[in-house]
């Protein structure tokens, strides 16, 4: 794959834009852009899965009260 390709810049309303060639197409529908000196860096947004987010949580240091302690026992129901 090529590592460099010349593209044309154009105006899109008040914004400057460029068409990204197919071989440089990013996955997804969101990207992050930042400027480092005179370079623009464009990276796709990496969405974390819910399972990865939950796995990164630390346990809570508090204990929860026993909410069933004051309830009457359940009745057996015959169907």
pLDDT tens readout for residues 24-33? 999 988 999 9
Report the C-alpha gap between 43 and 33 in whole angstroms.
6
Domain range for residue 22? 9-55
pTM of the model: 0.53
66: in domain: no
Report the C-alpha gap between 7 and 17 in whole angstroms.
10
Judge whether residue 43 has pLDDT over 60: yes
Q: Which residue has the higher pLDDT, 34 or 47?
A: 34
35: in domain: yes
Domain count, the chain: 1
67: in domain: no
71: in domain: no
Q: Token digits for 3? A: 């590592």
């Amino acid at each position: 794959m090529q590592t460099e390709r010349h593209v044309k810049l154009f105006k899109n309303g008040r914004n400057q834009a460029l068409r990204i060639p197919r071989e440089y197409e990013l996955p997804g529908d969101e990207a992050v852009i930042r400027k480092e000196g005179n370079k623009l860096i464009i990276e796709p947004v990496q969405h974390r899965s819910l399972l990865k987010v939950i796995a990164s949580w630390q346990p809570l240091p508090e204990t929860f009260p026993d909410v069933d302690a004051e309830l009457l026992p359940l009745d057996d129901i015959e169907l």
